[in-house]
Chains A and B, each alone.
Chain A
Amino acid sequence: MGALAVGGELQALSRGDVPAVVASLPVSLRLAEPSDLVALEGGPGWPERVAAATARGVMVVHPTPAAPEAVPAHPGAPVVLNYRFADNPVMPTAARLFTDWPADAMIEAAAVVAQPAELDGVLLDQLATLRRLGSPAVELTRLTWSSAGYYLSAVTRTGVRLLLSAHVTTATSPQLRIRGLAPSVALELTLPDPGTAQPAVLVRTTDAGATKFPTLWESSHRAGWRRLVAAVDGTTPADDLTGLRTDLGLLAPLLPAS
Chain B
Amino acid sequence: MSVSPISPNPLGVGFLGAGPVTQAIHLPALAGLGHLFSVRAVMDADGGTARSVAARAGARPSTSVQDVLQDESIDVIAVCSPHPFHAEQVIEACLAGKKVVLCEKPFATTVEDATRIAEVCATTGVPVLVGAMHTHDPGWLAFTQAWGETAGSAQHIRCSAVLPPNPRFEDFATEVSHRPPAPTGPTAAADRIRDGVLGLAIHDLPLIRAFLAEPGQIVVHEARSLTPFGYSIIFSSAGQVVELHALMSENWDPHWSFQVFAPTRAATVTFMPSYVQAGPADVVIDEAGRRTQLKAAPHNGYLGEWQHLYDVAHGGAPRYGTAELVADLAFALDVAEQACGAAATTNRAA
In the complex, A14 has a CB within 8 A of chain B? no
- The answer to whether B251 touches A184, judged by C-beta atoms less than 8 angstroms apart, is yes
**A144-B241 in contact (CB<8A):** yes
Give the residue of B156, B158, B227 whose beta carbon is less than 8 angstroms from that of A183: B227
Interface centre among A146, A148, A208, by most B CB within 10 Å? Answer: A148
- Dominant secondary structure of chain B at its interface with chain A: strand
Q: How far is the CA of A183 from the CA of B286 in the complex (A)?
A: 32
Asked if B221 contacts A144 (CB within 8 A), the reply is yes
Interface of A is mostly: strand
| B263 & A206 in contact (Cβ 8 Å cutoff) | no
Give the shortest distance, in Å, between B152 (CB) and chain A (any CB). Answer: 12
| Contact across chains for B224 and A186 when beta carbons are under 8 A apart | no
Question: Cβ of B155 and Cβ of A181 under 8 Å apart?
Answer: no
B287 at the binding interface (Cβ < 8 Å):
yes
Across the interface, which residues of A come within 8 angstroms of B247, CB to CB? 106, 181
* A148 and B252 alpha carbons, distance in the complex (Å): 34
B213 at the interface (CB under 8 A from A): no
The chain A residue sitting closest to B249, CB to CB, is A183
Among the 9-residue stretches B104-112, B127-135, B231-239, B275-283, the one with 4 or more Cβ atoms under 8 Å from chain A is B231-239
B261: Cβ under 8 A from any A Cβ: yes
Cβ of A169 and Cβ of B266 under 8 Å apart?
yes
Contacts A148-B155, A183-B227 given: A207-B265 contact, CB under 8 Å? no
| Any B CB within 8 A of the CB of A149 | yes
Tell me whether A168 and B263 are in contact in the complex, defined as CB-CB below 8 angstroms, given that A151-B234, A163-B232, A207-B252 are known contacts. Answer: yes
Residue of A144, A182, A184, A185 with most chain B CB atoms under a 10 A cut-off:
A144
Least Cβ–Cβ distance between A188 and chain B, in angstroms: 9
Shortest Cβ distance from residue B338 to the other chain A in the assembled complex, whole angstroms = 14
- Bound together, the chains give a CA A209 to CA B253 distance in angstroms of 8
Across the A-B interface, how many residue pairs have beta carbons closer than 8 Å? 103
Q: Please, how many angstroms separate the alpha-carbon atoms of A1 and B164 in the complex? A: 55
Tell me whether A143 is interfacial, beta carbon within 8 Å. Answer: yes
A171 in contact with B236 given A185-B251, A206-B252, A207-B252 (CB within 8 Å): no
Indicate the member of A149, A185, A207 with the most B CB atoms within 10 Å.
A207
Contact A146 B224 (CB under 8 A): no
Residues of A within 8 A of B266 (CB): 112, 167, 169, 171-172
Is B311 engaged at the interface, CB distance under 8 Å to the other chain? Answer: no
CB of A93 within 8 A of chain B?
Answer: no
List B contacts of A151 (CB < 8 A): 221, 234, 241, 243
Mark A164-194 against chain B: 1 for CB-CB distance below 8 A, else 0: 0101111110000000011111100000000
Interface string of B206-222 (1 = CB under 8 A from A): 00000000000000011
**Residues 124 to 168 of chain A near chain B (Cβ within 8 Å):** 141, 143-144, 146, 148-149, 151, 153, 161, 163, 165, 167-168
Which residue of B226, B250, B264 is within 8 Å of A169 (Cβ)? Answer: B264
Contacts of B162 in A (CB 8 A): 181, 186
B250 with A205: CB separation less than 8 A: no
Q: How far is the CB of A157 from chain B (nearest CB, A)?
A: 15
**Which chain B positions have C-beta within 8 A of A167?**
155-156, 261, 266
Whole-angstrom distance from the CB of A90 to the nearest CB of chain B? Answer: 20
Q: Are B222 and A168 in contact (CB under 8 A)?
A: no
Whether the Cβ atoms of A169 and B263 lie closer than 8 Å is yes
Whole-angstrom CA separation of A108 from B246 in the bound complex: 12
Give the nearest-CB partner of B287 in chain A.
A171
Determine whether A3 belongs to the interface, using a CB cutoff of 8 Å to chain B. no
Q: Which of A146, A169, A172, A207 has a CB less than 8 Å from the CB of B251?
A: A207
A-B pairs, 3 with minimum CB distance: A148-B155, A171-B266, A104-B227
Beyond known contacts A149-B241, A206-B251: 6 more, CB 8 A cutoff: A105-B227, A148-B263, A163-B232, A167-B155, A169-B262, A171-B265
Chain A interface residues toward B at CB < 8 A: 104-106, 108, 110, 112, 141, 143-144, 146, 148-149, 151, 153, 161, 163, 165, 167-172, 181-186, 205-210
Cβ contacts A to B, 13 pairs, < 8 Å: A146-B241, A151-B221, A153-B222, A161-B232, A165-B158, A168-B261, A169-B261, A170-B264, A171-B286, A181-B226, A183-B249, A186-B251, A207-B164
